[in-house]
Amino acid sequence: MTVEGPAWTASGLRTGAGKYPMAVEQHVMALAARLVPGVTTVTPHARYYALHTLAAAEAEERELDRRQAQDLLRRMEVALAAVSFVHHDGKDTSLGRAHGTDALAGRLRSRTLSMPEAAVAGKGGYVQASWGFSGAYFGSELILGLLNEKRGPGPACDVQVLRSGMGELVDIARRDEIVLSDLADYGHLCMCSAAGAPDGRWLARLLAGSDSRTPDREQTQARKDTIQLIARIIDTHPVAHLTRDVGDVLAFGDFLVQDEETTRNPVAAVWRGLVLRNHTVGAWRRLWAWLVDEVAGLTHISDVASAFADRLPPGPLSSFLDSLPGNTLPSGQPADAERQLWNGYDAPDRDLAILAVGARRVDELTGDSLDVFAGRRDQELTPAWFAALLADARSTSARDFAVRLTKILIARSERVALAKARRRADGTLWFPARLRVLEDGWLYRVGEEGRGDVNMRLDRLGNVLAGAGVLAWEDGVCTVTTLGRELLA
């Protein structure tokens, strides 16, 4: 995969209200979207791709109007949740919980289920949205060619295959009353049963790039390269958690440059830069959340800065930086310094250390990994920018640097919030910030900031691939199935 131009450099995408106060996450999210098209953070289940496509095909064949098509889709989603609930005796499936299960829980523990009442959109039903949970999947289903822009069946829709795998779900959905015990005979329609079923194999081929009906071959190739890379790591390493275990192999060590298959994979170096960049993003998010938590009532910025400074050792910043673990292995490949330094969510000194380790990588990485990782030196909070900031401050004390960095982050948060601010219809100003800055350096907090890592979609991709039969879990360890090997060969 070519890594050049704006496609792989720091993104200027705008984010949702108050969700990303430091605006450091977009680069990681945009790259993950490019590498895993067709799967997002809100598309966890393989069988819903088939359900939504089959619903569209049925609506088109029956010439249903918009309202009727929506009703059919919602009924099918309720039917899938009910079948899965019964098949697993009220417990989650191996792939998680069907959409709407929580809202349906009371009804699903009864003897019967009224479909018109359960499938209604809005208050009292299983979901608020008129299109059920399909809104979360719609963009991915467009990318894969399952649906078209009008929510009709797309070029990759295979009605015969979908009916073979899930046709009975349509019949269940059309009933007005369901005796839940009768669903015990429909375990083959459960969320966990797509692997090996016709609709599961259909989706597996689309995801793995073995079906030419997907509309964008470049996106298909990026996804296939990513799946091949993940599968190779699963074949050669014990993987119990994709984001953690696969992510560590992608970021650290010699495997990517020594294994014959991964050295030929065009996205391997891109993923290395992305995972390493995400370590710095996580550190920025944790550090900022910690600073915001230090604001209790009306608090002066100097008190927040002092609290951060007190968590650092006395002496020059250079001594702090020189005390950090080494970045590289003897081979020159990245060592797991970030993993060694991480110490939970109440360690601003460790987060600063992780950021410093990342800054050193600007001079160590090469090629696509560097292009993805470093960012621009003139763009705040990128590794390249932070490397320049550290170089300029080496002779100052570590605690003075903490004070300076606190002021930079608070000022940035204010700018980001102002850029997103909007005037409401009633004339009031919507200002998406958890931390408000008053005159003369006074602060007050109106909420907590998120501090979790940015989701790179690896776990979601793994769950969808497992649902489609490409991957499987055996004794808590991920494996590549026979079908997966055939599709990825």
- The pLDDT score that the predictor gives to residue 215 is 83
Average pLDDT over residues 345-368: 97
Residue 394 scores a pLDDT above 50: yes
Average pLDDT over residues 310-331: 96
pLDDT digits (tens, 9 = 90+) for 215-237: 888 999 999 999 999 999 999 99
User: Which of 354 and 438 is assigned the larger pLDDT?
Assistant: 354
pLDDT digits (tens, 9 = 90+) for 397-442: 999 999 999 999 999 988 887 777 788 888 777 766 788 888 899 9
pLDDT digits (tens, 9 = 90+) for 243-281: 999 999 999 999 999 999 999 999 999 999 999 999 999
- The pLDDT score that the predictor gives to residue 3 is 41
Residue 5 scores a pLDDT above 60: no
Tell which residue, 395, 378, 410, has the closest CA to residue 316: 395
Q: Which residues contact 383 (CB under 8 A, 6 or more apart)?
A: 277, 280, 358, 359, 361, 362, 373, 374, 375
Q: Which residues contact 224 (CB under 8 A, 6 or more apart)?
A: 208, 209, 488
Average pLDDT over residues 282-288: 95
- The pLDDT score that the predictor gives to residue 12 is 31
d(CA 371, CA 195): 38
Q: Which two tokens stand for residue 224?
A: 């296939």
Please, what is the average pLDDT of the chain? 92
CA 447 to chain centroid, in Å, comes to 24
d(CA 434, CA 447): 5
Q: How confident is the model at residue 10 (pLDDT cuts 50, 70, 90)?
A: very low
Residue 4 scores a pLDDT above 90: no
**Cα Rg, the chain, nearest whole Å:** 25
- The pLDDT score that the predictor gives to residue 19 is 58
Residue 18 scores a pLDDT above 60: no
Q: How confident is the model at residue 15 (pLDDT cuts 50, 70, 90)?
A: very low
Residue 131 scores a pLDDT above 80: yes
Residue recorded with tokens 């004339």: 427
Q: Which two tokens stand for residue 74?
A: 């919602």
Residue 11 scores a pLDDT above 80: no
- The pLDDT score that the predictor gives to residue 92 is 87
pLDDT > 70: percent of the chain: 95
Residue type present at position 267:
V
What's the distance, Cα to Cα, between the start and end of the chain in Å? 19
- How far from 479 is each of 239, 258, 341, 473, CA to CA, in Å? 8, 22, 30, 6
Average pLDDT over residues 61-78: 98
Please compute, for residue 43, the number of CA atoms within 13 A of its CA located in the half-sphere on the CB side.
29
d(CA 288, CA 270): 27
**Domain residue spans in the chain?**
5-37+250-445, 46-207
- The pLDDT score that the predictor gives to residue 334 is 98
Starting at the edge strand found earlier in the chain, the sheet holding 435-437 runs 299-300, 442-445, 435-437
